[in-house]
Amino acid sequence: MDLIALGVICASLLVFGHSLFSLYLMLYTWEDPDRLRASRGPASYLPPRLSFTVLLPARDEAAVIYETIKRVVMANYPAHLVEVVVICHVDDAATIAEAYRAIEDLDAPNVRVETFSGGPISKPRGLNVGFQRTTNQVVTIFDAEDDLHPDIFAMVNTVMLEEEVSVVQAGVQLMNYRDHWFSMHNVLEYFFWFKSRLHFHARVGVVPLGGNTVFVRRHLLERVGGWDERCLTEDADLGIRLSALGEPVRIVYDPSRVTREETPESVSSLIRQRTRWHQGFLQVLRKGVWRALPRFGQRLLALMTLSHPFLQAVLTLLWPLAFAGILWVKLPIVVTMVSFLPLYALLFQLLATVVGSVMFAREYGFRLSPLLPLVTALTFLPYQLLLGLSAVRAVYRELRNRTNWEKTPHVGAHRRPSVVRSAELAPRRARVEPVGRRAAHGMGRRR
């Protein structure tokens, strides 16, 4: 019994500490308003100087790729400074045809399609193909369904030149929070990740980069050898490798200039997506590049971040035992009280999630139903269970060495008129005429 009690105390304190730290990361920028102000992009822009390579890896994306190409072409930046490469496997005839249709309709000579054959058929393989066939100074990635802000290149050009940084991660936000019972939770994960948590990672100096709207100078990508084609989270892997070089990452979060995306279209799609992300973190953990981080605090944060899927999987499998223990195992009162600490932390996270749903709605101009906070609270535990099952599945796949890419289908749900109209009510920053815009006017494509 003493060993059981000791095990319960140790496990409870471990989970409680991890949960409190996760809560701290969720609220990091709210703790100090100066951090939030510092994360915003510039109010005015320098004249265009840097040239950009836009990599658009696409697999079975005929439904959304046309609009994405259009949005890149319409960006407020000189067209001759932006090369856009749509990267497809040779067997993806529908996406290739739709990309060529967009190029012809938009009269966009700075956009082209590059194809590759063989395996692996994965996003990082496509990124390496595109990277090797392009030349511009700054390389960026957008996913096939992304709605980027028209000023994104002007903003990054200014940040890189003014602040002398070589890596910029801009904000990404899911928008269609009403579609499914899990959608708001999915939306809030992005909201807390880009608005708050990534800023802590940047301060410590270990940043698992996002999969899109990340900008890296070409010489750095050449130095680290591009992307790991077998890694399921090639973005986080790249971020850890750049952090190991001591390269700072500038996080820019401005709700009026985020890249907008959609939530998965079904529970099964969500589970497959999260399985891929969890397994990718486990792959990066096993590779051990994080051990090359120079400071102990960096290595500790990397270890906690990358091992989280394993901890989540273990906790998910232990839930039945925990409930059985409550019913049938008699423990000393002190041990019982300690065992409830993780529950208290979970309740705090639930409260932060409900408050976050209101803050998200205000920031992006959505009118929330009075019942939505209640629905969010009631679906909190089922959503955590989905994430836990995804983690269990990821650990199983990693142990079995199954690394095939489970793709998330995209339908453009964030582009529906009801979503776009609501989001357009969001408070915007005062529009400042960028420096040099007049000189550059007419050089970019604005149709």
Q: Encode pLDDT of 186-232 as tens digits.
A: 999 999 999 999 999 999 999 999 999 999 999 999 999 999 999 99
Note the pLDDT of residue 426. Answer: 44
Strands 259-261 and 172-174: parallel
Q: What is the pTM of this model?
A: 0.90
Q: Please, which residues have CB within 8 angstroms of residue 206's CB and are 6 or more apart in sequence?
A: 239, 240, 243, 290, 293, 298, 301, 302, 305
Return d(Cα 326, Cα 332) in angstroms, integer.
12
Domain residue ranges of the chain, discontinuous segments joined by +: 1-39+165-430
| Sheet-wide strand order for 138-141 | 111-116, 82-89, 52-57, 138-141, 214-217, 167-170, 250-252
Note the pLDDT of residue 282. Answer: 98
Cβ atoms of 363 and 385 closer than 8 Å: no
Given pLDDT bands bounded at 50, 70 and 90, which one contains residue 446?
Answer: very low
Q: What is the mean pLDDT of the chain?
A: 90
Note the pLDDT of residue 272. Answer: 97
Note the pLDDT of residue 421. Answer: 55
Q: Encode pLDDT of 146-184 as tens digits.
A: 999 999 999 999 999 999 999 999 999 999 999 999 999
Residue 430 confidence (pLDDT) above 50: no
Neighbours of 439 (CB within 10 A): 11
Return d(Cα 208, Cα 356) in angstroms, integer.
23
Structural tokens at position 274:
């999260």
Cβ atoms of 115 and 128 closer than 8 Å: no
Residue 21 confidence (pLDDT) above 50: yes
Q: What is the mean pLDDT of residues 295-306?
A: 98
Higher pLDDT, 368 or 353: 353
Q: Encode pLDDT of 228-274 as tens digits.
A: 999 999 999 999 999 999 999 999 999 999 999 999 999 999 999 99
Question: Residues 332, 337, 340, 342: what is their CA dihedral angle, to the nearest 10 degrees?
Answer: -110
Range name among 193-207, 286-300, 337-351 with the lowest pLDDT average: 337-351
CA distances from 70 to 99, 309, 435 (A): 10, 37, 25
Note the pLDDT of residue 419. Answer: 75
Query: How far is residue 340 CA from its own chain's centroid?
Result: 32
Neighbours of 259 (CB within 10 A): 21
| Terminal C-alpha separation, the chain | 74
Q: How many residues in the chain?
A: 447
Cβ atoms of 69 and 108 closer than 8 Å: yes
Note the pLDDT of residue 76. Answer: 97
Return d(Cα 77, Cα 68) in angstroms, integer.
16
Q: Give the position of tokens 């750095």.
A: 220
Given pLDDT bands bounded at 50, 70 and 90, which one contains residue 327?
Answer: low
Given pLDDT bands bounded at 50, 70 and 90, which one contains residue 324?
Answer: low
* Residue 252 φ/ψ, nearest 5 degrees: -115, 120
Q: What is the mean pLDDT of residues 419-433?
A: 50
Given pLDDT bands bounded at 50, 70 and 90, which one contains residue 185?
Answer: very high
Structural tokens at position 181:
């019972």
Note the pLDDT of residue 423. Answer: 58
Given pLDDT bands bounded at 50, 70 and 90, which one contains residue 1?
Answer: low
Residue 422 confidence (pLDDT) above 70: no
Residue 431 confidence (pLDDT) above 60: no
Residue 415 confidence (pLDDT) above 80: yes
Q: Please, which residues have CB within 8 angstroms of residue 22's CB and are 6 or more apart in sequence?
A: 349
Residue 443 confidence (pLDDT) above 70: no
- Bond into 120 cis (ω within 30): yes
Q: Which of 33-42, 121-130, 435-444 has the highest mean pLDDT?
A: 121-130
Given pLDDT bands bounded at 50, 70 and 90, which one contains residue 322?
Answer: low
Q: What is the mean pLDDT of residues 276-290?
A: 97
SS (H, E, C) the chain: CHHHHHHHHHHHHHHHHHHHHHHHHHCHHHHCHHHHHHHCCCCCCCCCCCCEEEEEECCCCCCCHHHHHHHHHCCCCCHHHEEEEEEEECCCHHHHHHHHHHHHHHCCCCEEEEEECCCCCCHHHHHHHHHHCCCCCEEEECCCCCECCCCHHHHHHHHHHHHCCCEEEECEEECCCCCCCCHHHHHHHHHHHHHHHHHHHHHHCCCCCCCCCEEEEHHHHHHHCCCCCCCCCHHHHHHHHHHHCCCCCEEECCHHHCEEECCCCCHHHHHHHHHHHHHHHHHHHHHCHHHHCCCHHHHHHHHHHHCHHHHHHHHHHHHHHHHHHHHHCCCCHHHHHHHCHHHHHHHHHHHHHHHHHHHHHHHHCCCCCCCHHHHHHHCHHHHHHHHHHHHHHHHHHHHCCCCCCCCCCCCCHHHCHHHHHHHCCCCCCCCCCCCCHHHHCCCCCCC
Note the pLDDT of residue 444. Answer: 41
Q: Please, which residues have CB within 8 angstroms of residue 387's CB and are 6 or more apart in sequence?
A: 274, 312
Structural tokens at position 371:
């019942």
Given pLDDT bands bounded at 50, 70 and 90, which one contains residue 433?
Answer: very low
Cβ atoms of 126 and 65 closer than 8 Å: no
Q: What is the mean pLDDT of residues 411-432?
A: 63
Q: What is the mean pLDDT of residues 373-394?
A: 96
Range name among 182-186, 248-252, 338-342, 379-383 with the lowest pLDDT average: 338-342
